Amino acid sequence: MPEGTAPLEPYDLVLLGSFGGPEAPEEVMPFLRRVTAGRNIPDERLEAVGEHYYARGGRSPINDLNRDLLARLREALERRGADVPVVWGNRNSEPFFADALHEALDAGATRVVVLLTSAYSCYSSCRQYREDLAAALEQVGPAADGLVVDKVRPYVTSTGLGRAWLEALLGALRGLPDPGRARILYVTHSVPEAMDDTSGPGDGEGNLYVDQHLRLAARLTDEANAALGTSVPGELVFCSRSGPPSQPWLEPDVNDRIEELAAEAGEDPVVVVPIGFVSDHMEVVHDLDTEAAETAARVGVPFVRVPTPHASEVFVEGLVDLLLERAAEARGEVVVPDAWLPGDVRPSVCAPGCCPNLRAAKPALCGSDG
Ligand SMILES: CC1=C(CCC(=O)O)c2cc3nc(cc4[nH]c(cc5[nH]c(cc1n2)c(C)c5CCC(=O)O)c(CCC(=O)O)c4C)C(CCC(=O)O)=C3C
Ligand SMILES: [Fe+2]
């Protein structure tokens, strides 16, 4: 970095982008309708999911966790000499992306760098955010003319995320009476098979969503076994399937797999690592801590759920590294991307047609196709 350059130059503001969630019972159904808009999800499914929220007072943990992350990110950026405003916006609840863009413009921002709470590549994890950012910019209108909005690449391969998960996993394994008997279940959000098949660069490679998870899971299992002198197995399973039964989604479901393990491995503990998520939002507290934990108890399998990285210092410092790396790239410096996983690192400017929207072509920001 040339002397005198502020570490985040040319960016003058960071936008933390997330999924959103309801914070009161009356916000639950509008939130669910927004999430599923245009997708023909039957009302029964929405009501069933609504119950998970109502059982917790209609409040998802996700926004509070993001407020906390926002504060940690501000502190960490300031410590690293990047004294820029950090605003927060969601796809599906207030503050929306458009609110965040208004806040950015009020702060005098001209070049915004977006950091998502989603680390993977697929339509739901990446392009859908880019489409919603484009729609938000459109909604803000002429006031946003000339505003540059760039994004940090899908960062599942990054050191901060990987090391944060490893610390958490080791903590959980060390807490077991006999870590060598554990079975690790890495869990992520199921998506339609067609969404996984088309995830990635758009030149027919596909399956990048599953591939990224498998690579993270393999490295974590290897590192954990090396640290503990064990040889515990790890595998990838899925949660939170929706969609009609006729549509294939990624399997096996975490509950089904726990039942099978009870039959195969008796009372060996399962250690559940929700690598698809960076914070304990509803998927984690309901689908894992409630449903999967109940399944395990019913079949007599000890169940441990590894904490998500959101409050980990290693994770937050890693997010700052990613932001600084993105800024260096924007300045035209030669950047060797930080990578904890072997294999492909996604670019921060998405390729045309990557992780496509299979329903409709929509404008999206942060891609090389404008
Ligand atoms: C890949 C992925 C992530 C990870 C990436 C990321 O973090 O963005 C994610 C995150 C989340 N998903 C969430 C909630 C929901 N997802 C739904 C529906 C769906 N998710 C999908 C995929 C993903 N989802 C898909 C393919 C659908 C089907 C409908 C559609 O194609 O859109 C539905 C509708 C009801 C249902 O069908 O379950 C809800 C309520 C919450 C908030 C939790 C809270 O409130 O604490 C979060 C963080
Ligand atoms: Fe979801």
CATH number for 101: 3.40.50.1400
**How far away, in angstroms, is 42 Cα from ligand 2 center?**
15
| pLDDT at residue 285, rounded to an integer | 95
Q: State if residue 32 touches ligand 1 by the CB under 6 angstroms criterion.
A: yes
| pLDDT at residue 3, rounded to an integer | 64
Owning domain of residue 229: 159-309
If asked whether residues 17 and 112 sit together in one domain, one would say yes
- What do you get for the CA distance between the two ends of the chain, in Å? 28
Q: Tell whether 125 is covered by a domain.
A: yes
If asked whether residues 305 and 321 sit together in one domain, one would say no
Last residue of a domain, one of 309, 340, 364: 309
If asked whether residues 141 and 201 sit together in one domain, one would say no
If asked whether residues 204 and 291 sit together in one domain, one would say yes
If asked whether residues 294 and 188 sit together in one domain, one would say yes
Q: Is the pLDDT of residue 266 over 90?
A: no
The band of 249, judged by pLDDT with boundaries at 50, 70 and 90, is: very high
Compute the distance between CA of residue 129 and CA of residue 114 in angstroms, rounded to an integer: 10
Q: Is the pLDDT of residue 131 over 90?
A: yes
The percentage of residues in the chain with a pLDDT greater than 90, rounded to a whole number, is 91
If asked whether residues 25 and 103 sit together in one domain, one would say yes
Q: State if residue 121 touches ligand 1 by the CB under 6 angstroms criterion.
A: no
Q: State if residue 199 touches ligand 1 by the CB under 6 angstroms criterion.
A: no
Q: State if residue 191 touches ligand 1 by the CB under 6 angstroms criterion.
A: yes
**How far away, in angstroms, is 251 Cα from ligand 1 center?**
16
Helix (H) or strand (E) segment spanning residue 25:
helix 25-35
Nearest CA owner, ligand 1 atom 38:
242
If asked whether residues 171 and 137 sit together in one domain, one would say no
If asked whether residues 81 and 98 sit together in one domain, one would say yes
Number of domains in the chain: 2
| pLDDT at residue 92, rounded to an integer | 98
The band of 204, judged by pLDDT with boundaries at 50, 70 and 90, is: low
If asked whether residues 34 and 95 sit together in one domain, one would say yes
Do 196 and 297 touch, CB atoms closer than 8 A? Answer: no
pLDDT digits (tens, 9 = 90+) for 103-117: 999 999 999 999 999
Ligand 1, closest atom to CA 195? 26
| pLDDT at residue 1, rounded to an integer | 56
If asked whether residues 187 and 286 sit together in one domain, one would say yes
Q: State if residue 118 touches ligand 1 by the CB under 6 angstroms criterion.
A: yes
| Mean pLDDT value across residues 12-40 | 95
Compute the distance between CA of residue 95 and CA of residue 66 in angstroms, rounded to an integer: 11
| pLDDT at residue 70, rounded to an integer | 98
Is pLDDT larger for residue 284 or for residue 3?
284
Cα–Cα distances (Å) from 170 to 182, 313, 319, in that order, read: 12, 16, 21
If asked whether residues 105 and 149 sit together in one domain, one would say yes
| pLDDT at residue 243, rounded to an integer | 83
If asked whether residues 136 and 164 sit together in one domain, one would say no
The band of 202, judged by pLDDT with boundaries at 50, 70 and 90, is: confident
